[in-house]
Structures are given as structure tokens and as C-alpha cells.
């Protein structure tokens, strides 16, 4: 009986700044764990590999959209995520929607306007105020850089590449002009909020790609992970707590606090994980209902891989290891000249 827990954001990105409160179950697990620091990898790329996808170009938009709700199989999808564009000196920078506090009514108004104005392009959807999509009849041909790669960086370094790029660059510009002039953004600026003055198109990929589930039971809340499960023929369950049996769970409650260096939110999420996951997993290992626990924490600086065996818990001399102490062993990136 095995369980695989995926925790993006567990490895706090600022060295020595985690300052975690006592977490007895996690510390006990870490004290008996074999750990390995692996090279950094994007969460989505790593997750897709666990579901058997090894191709360089993933249908990220289609997978994420499949995690939101069922969709027609013959539809091609692009992520069309709302962003804020701003200049810093002579660089045009992009900020994703995670810090824009977009309201549902704002998203609904903008999506309705986009569908009325750009009906000849495709159909716009917003299952979430932060996650927008464009449904298309044909697969876009360019390579689009993922939004996570562009966030906080100069846009000009991440323009579409490959075939038919002029068409998509023109569309992106037209969408920016339309959004810039929309009353929703005038109201946001009047209220002291940053406008939603652009979208980032990305995530196109081949439709016919096989996937297989890493476990019979999959728990996930993030749409991309849920979409992978559905494409592999498994209906995902909520990642709210440990359930009985073997499984594969993606719990992303630490990811956003780590991204924004929000220590208080990160600490609070760790406390919930201690209650709902670490303590039950430790109890299951002691009861031998789980014989092997694997924990993976993908990140943009490094990837932490942990393995804990129920057979090794008898080693009473192994002392609990605080998360801070483990994170202090993370390799430091080699500095590079710009």
C-alpha cells in the first residue's frame, strides 16, 4: 500500500526564512525520511510526467479546462488569462491575476464583451475570475510561453514563436486596446486598483495525447491536476484530507503563499496540512495501512523528494527533524552574471 503526496510550495523559497511553528507529525515523518534535492521543474511538467506524458508540448489549456468542467472533445483551447501590463523603465512587465483581486462580476462583464466584440475569433469563457479560456475550432500553430514563465518579467522575451505568429500578436494587441478602454478598468483605476489591461494567450497543444493514472484514487483541487486525472479516466476527489486506501494527492494550499512570500498564510496552510494530512499519514504508517509514503515538492528553485517507509519507523533513535532544518540543506543556485 503506497501513498504519494505532492506539495508544491513546501520548500519555502527564501533561505532561512521559513520559521515554522512546531509540527510534530511532519517532524516525525521528516526524521524517518530519506530526502533528495532534485533539479527544479515546473509543477505542471512534473505532474504530466507522472501521468505518462513525456512530450515537450503539452495541451496545457485543454487539460486545465478539463479540470474545470466537461467540454466538447473536438474543441481546441487556449488559456486567455487576465493580466496587468505595466512599464518599469523601458521594460513592459506582466503581473498575473493572483494579485489583481478580480471580482466575478468584473470577469463576467469582460467575458460578455469579448464574446460580443470578437465572436469571429472563438468563444471566451471564465470558469474562474482568474482563469480565462478561448475555445477555437482549430489548434493554434505557434508555441506560446507559459504564463508562469512570464510573470514579473519583460514580455518581449516571451513572444510567440513558430508559425502564424503575426495573427496572434495582432489579436493580443487588439484585446489589450479593447480592455484598456473598457469601463470596468476605468472603475478599477478610480478605486485605486490595477487595471486588467491585457491577456496572456498560452497552453495550446495536441489533442490526442494518452495519459494513465498513477493511482486508482486521485485527489486534487487545482484544475490542471484534475484535468490530468479525468484524461486518465479517473474522477478526482477533493484534496481536503487523507482518505482510506492508496492514492495520489496534489495539495496546493502552500503554493500561492510561497509564490507571494506570504509567511503568515504559508504558516496557516502548514497547520492545516499537519492536521489533515501529516498526522493521519503518520498514523497510517504506524498502523501499516500505508507501507510507503512518498512526498514530492516541485519548485522553481529545486525539487524536494522524500520517501518514508513504515518498516523504518521502528528506528527509535531517529529524532524528529523540523522542516526548517531540512530546508536549510537545500542547495543554493549558482550565481550567474547577467
- The mean pLDDT of the chain is 91
Is-contact 305 26, C-beta < 8 A?
A: no
Q: What pLDDT is attached to residue 27?
A: 95
Q: What are phi and psi of 242, to 5 degrees?
A: -70, 130
Whether 241 has a pLDDT exceeding 90, the answer reads yes
Cα 97 to its chain centre, rounded Å, is 13
Per-residue model confidence as pLDDT tens digits over 143-200:
999 998 999 899 999 999 988 899 999 999 999 999 999 999 999 999 999 999 999 9
Q: What are phi and psi of 201, to 5 degrees?
A: -85, 130
Per-residue model confidence as pLDDT tens digits over 11-28:
887 665 555 678 999 999
Output the nine-digit C-alpha cell for 302.
Answer: 529545486
Domain residues of the chain, as ranges?
2-53+210-327, 60-202
Q: What pLDDT is attached to residue 251?
A: 97
Whether 337 has a pLDDT exceeding 50, the answer reads no
Q: Residue range 309-336: average pLDDT?
A: 82
Whether 86 has a pLDDT exceeding 70, the answer reads yes
| Cβ-Cβ contacts under 8 Å for 316 (sequence gap 6 or more) | none
Q: What pLDDT is attached to residue 336?
A: 45
SS3 content of the chain, % helix, strand, coil (to 5): 35, 20, 45
Q: What pLDDT is attached to residue 333?
A: 64
Q: What does the angle CA 97 – CA 71 – CA 64 come to, to the nearest 5 degrees? A: 35
Per-residue model confidence as pLDDT tens digits over 35-70:
999 998 889 999 999 999 877 788 999 999 999 987
Output the nine-digit C-alpha cell for 149.
Answer: 514563465
d(C-alpha 10, C-alpha 330), whole Å: 12
Residue 66: Cβ-neighbour burial (10 angstroms; 0-12, 13-18, 19+): buried
| Cβ-Cβ contacts under 8 Å for 257 (sequence gap 6 or more) | 9, 263, 265, 266, 269
- Comparing 5-19, 44-58, 133-147, 213-227, the range with the smallest average pLDDT is 5-19
Amino acid at each position: 500500500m503506497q501513498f504519494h503526496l505532492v506539495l508544491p510550495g513546501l520548500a519555502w523559497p527564501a533561505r532561512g526564512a521559513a520559521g515554522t511553528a512546531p509540527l510534530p507529525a511532519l517532524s516525525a515523518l521528516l526524521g524517518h525520511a530519506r530526502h533528495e534535492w532534485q533539479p527544479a521543474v515546473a509543477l505542471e511538467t512534473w505532474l504530466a510526467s507522472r501521468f505518462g506524458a513525456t512530450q515537450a508540448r503539452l495541451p496545457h489549456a485543454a487539460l486545465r479546462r478539463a479540470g474545470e468542467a466537461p467540454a466538447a472533445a473536438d474543441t481546441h483551447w487556449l488559456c486567455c488569462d487576465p493580466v496587468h501590463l505595466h512599464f518599469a523603465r523601458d521594460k513592459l512587465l506582466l503581473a498575473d491575476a493572483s494579485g489583481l483581486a478580480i471580482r466575478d462580476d468584473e470577469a463576467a462583464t469582460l467575458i460578455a464583451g469579448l464574446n460580443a466584440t470578437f465572436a469571429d475569433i472563438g468563444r471566451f469563457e471564465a470558469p474562474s475570475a482568474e482563469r480565462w479560456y478561448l475555445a477555437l475550432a482549430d489548434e493554434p500553430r505557434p508555441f506560446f510561453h507559459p504564463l508562469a514563465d512570464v510573470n514579473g518579467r519583460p514580455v518581449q522575451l516571451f513572444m510567440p514563436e513558430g508559425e502564424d505568429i503575426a495573427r496572434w500578436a495582432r489579436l493580443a494587441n487588439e484585446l489589450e486596446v479593447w480592455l484598456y478602454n473598457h469601463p470596468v478598468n476605468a472603475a478599477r483605476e478610480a478605486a485605486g486598483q490595477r487595471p486588467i489591461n491585457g491577456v496572456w494567450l498560452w497552453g495550446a497543444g495536441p489533442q490526442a495525447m494518452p495519459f494513465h493514472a498513477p493511482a486508482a484514487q486521485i485527489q486534487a483541487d487545482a484544475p490542471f491536476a484534475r484535468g490530468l486525472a479525468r484524461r486518465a479516466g479517473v474522477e478526482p476527489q477533493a484534496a481536503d484530507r487523507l482518505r482510506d486506501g492508496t492514492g495520489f494527492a496534489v495539495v496546493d494550499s502552500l503554493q500561492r503563499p510561497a509564490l507571494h512570500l506570504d509567511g503568515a498564510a504559508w504558516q496557516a496552510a502548514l497547520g492545516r496540512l499537519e492536521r489533515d494530512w501529516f498526522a493521519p499519514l503518520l498514523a497510517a504508517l504506524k498502523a501499516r495501512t500505508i507501507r510507503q509514503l512518498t512526498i514530492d515538492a516541485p519548485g522553481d528553485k529545486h525539487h524536494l523528494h522524500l520517501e518514508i517507509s513504515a518498516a523504518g519507523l521502528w528506528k527509535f533513535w531517529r529524532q524528529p527533524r523540523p522542516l526548517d532544518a531540512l530546508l536549510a540543506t537545500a542547495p543554493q543556485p549558482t550565481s550567474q552574471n547577467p
